[in-house]
Amino acid sequence: MKKNEAKNRIAKLSTEINRLRFEYHVLDKADVTDEVYSSLMDELRSLEEQFPDLKAVDSPTQKIGGKPVEKFQKVKHQVRQWSFDDIFDFEGLQKWDEKIERMVEKLGGNRAEGGQGGEGGIGRLDYVCEIKIDGLKIILTYKNGIFVSGATRGDGVIGEDVTENLKTIYSIPLKLKKNISGVFVGECWLSKKELHRINTEREKNGEALFANSRNAAAGSIRQLDSKVAASRRLDSFIYDIDFLDGIDFPKTQMEELKLLKELGFNVNPDTKLCKNIAEIEEFYQGWIGKKDSQNYGIDGVAIKINSRALQEALGYTGKSPRWGVAYKFPAEKVTTIVEDISVQVGRTGALTPVAHLRPVSVAGSTVSRATLHNADEIERLDIRIGDTVVIQKAGDVIPEVVEVIVSLRTGKEKKFKMPEVCPICGSPVKRESVGVSPLRRRGETPTFSAAHYCTNKNCYAVEIEKIIHFVSKKGFNIDGLGESIVEQLMNEGLVADFSDIFELTLGDLKPLERFAEKSAQNLIEAIAASRKITLEKFIFALGIRHVGEETAVLIAQAINTEIPNLKSQIPNKAQNSKHKIQNLADVIKFFPEITVEDWRSIKGIGEKSAESLVSWFGDKNNLEILERMRSAGVEILSEKGVNGGKEGKAKLSGKTIVLTGELESFTRDEAKDIIRREGGSVSSSVSKNTSFVLAGENPGSKYQKALTLGVRVVGEKEFGEMIK
């Protein structure tokens, strides 16, 4: 066969094979037998071997797997990946819905059953319910219609490049049905039938069995040899679009799912548009009864606001979208034996009792420990060492004991009593007074905290947990400073508090066990790289009690703009504008003067958080640690978490901005964060009300629409000057 004839034949074979695959793996129908399909594939493979330069990157033969890789490369996501918050019952659904409705009303939206819904406002409030697949989250990137890369979620910012393994999944198209670019999100899963087949083979080979299909899918995607992944017949459902270029972004989640199907993705058909939570609950209850009959794992229902405009307006908390939630199915319950009860000491000094269990499988994983929360919970359950108990676990939630089967007691069970001294440092343990309960009469005994606390602020266990929290990914994110290394450095006397970390030298580390010259150098470099940090991450890293990630974000957003006492202390432009809170020196100077009332003036910060902040920044020792950190070169990045501007005003206040094209200086997610922090809003579509379009390389239709409407277009350099 001549080359030109081979080229035409390869094109026809590829088109036909892709059609058959789409119909079989996406539409669940087959027009031909397996023998016919195999024959077509054999012919295509033979032609590509004869004419290797005619093999296209999106050829159907690429599904069989390529050469093994040595290791997976880390990849930064173009758009940050989030996880939904979980709810477990109708009461939780009601509370979430009420909160959403309040926020939507403030934005000018309304209920779906309220008539026109969003005419002249920001949108109509209705919900899309989707089946929540118990698989592995995947992020797929396409350029000009061609699949170019795929990654795991990782920590939401950095994932692992598993492109070659994802290419082997038949339901993931190597070429879209439209010539567009985009980032698409979904779930990789393994069928229950395939799991049974794989486990049967592993049992014959004396290999450990996969506990569930989710573990098997995750293990398959992380195979260095893509041929192994190909042999396991993975599947996928795609349910979200993070970025789109070359076509207008859908205005609703339902339209988004429709577009995904039109592009050639496998989209789960079990989706429902719901006007209210009564309809959501009906959908949810219906699936509880039939979830086990499906060939894939289902662990709940994903609920999303349908309007994309409302989604963007509601935005995100520090850890999850406000516009969506995961309604988990009832937790699985099993029985086991409590073999012992121990106590752990956390970074706040709280003592948490932990039940050591006879290992048992629940919710797809083997459990040998469960939290008992506190002494009150132990007393309420009347739990004893040796008891037969019921434990429950839902998804990734820490398992807990929910019931004791008293009828199975033998009389040999032992009661547990919280220790009177700290098991780590031997200091006295006490409960903190939290005032008089409103249910008590005046003059009666004050109530106490549920938790017991070590009275030694410098308790070794507390200090270790504080520093582990400080260097974690959500804090200073110091790579190489794991729990064992932190403990080693503290045992060697090299680290006693946060500031000591930034004073470590190569000479300190090289003599230690576990440290060769290269690993010591890597840690020193990681510490140096961590010295510059955003205000919200800095506040979170300090480990202040009742101040979590979301509270830290709220504080960072409010600094210089919302705290009355702080604003009154900072000189205005006419006096000395440089005294804005934008570096560590300013934090040390001004934060100790902020009162409980000032902290509480920030929307979302409660009394406990405010009191903890006042207490922490009022501690002279803590301020000395901060000063030593400042001297060691720790810097707070002023452009993150604080509003700039010569007069303290947000630089993009009131502006509506649209993004298009490929940005180089930062990811789209980072650009959106900057815009929102500077008082602007991000829109997915261009209109006459758009303030300007931020355009990167290869801008799409939004760029052309901006030119047509006369909307200003700016590049990254000009945008950088705006926010400088």
Q: Which two tokens stand for residue 436?
A: 């008089």
Candidates 63, 132, 204, 261; catalytic one: 132
Q: Which two tokens stand for residue 198?
A: 């794989």
How far apart are alpha carbons 640 and 557 in whole angstroms? 9
SS3 assignment for 383-402: CEECCEEEEEECCCCCCEEE
Q: State the sign of the Cα–Cα–Cα–Cα dihedral 362, 366, 368, 370.
A: negative
How far apart are alpha carbons 219 and 674 in whole angstroms? 37
The residue among 474, 473, 531 whose CA lies nearest residue 498 is 531
Whether the CB-CB separation of 83 and 673 falls below 8 Å is answered with no
How far apart are alpha carbons 195 and 637 in whole angstroms? 49
Give the up-direction half-sphere exposure of residue 286: CA atoms within 13 A in the CB hemisphere. 12
How far apart are alpha carbons 333 and 363 in whole angstroms? 8
Q: Which two tokens stand for residue 664?
A: 């180089």
Neighbours of 514 (CB within 10 A): 10
Three-class SS state of 446: coil
Whether the CB-CB separation of 648 and 580 falls below 8 Å is answered with yes
| Rounded to 5°, angle at Cα 143 from 142 and 149 | 45
Q: Which two tokens stand for residue 709?
A: 């409407």
How far apart are alpha carbons 570 and 581 in whole angstroms? 8
Q: Would you call 414 a catalytic residue per the annotation?
A: no
Cα 538 to its chain centre, rounded Å, is 19
How far apart are alpha carbons 196 and 290 in whole angstroms? 20
Residues labelled catalytic: 132
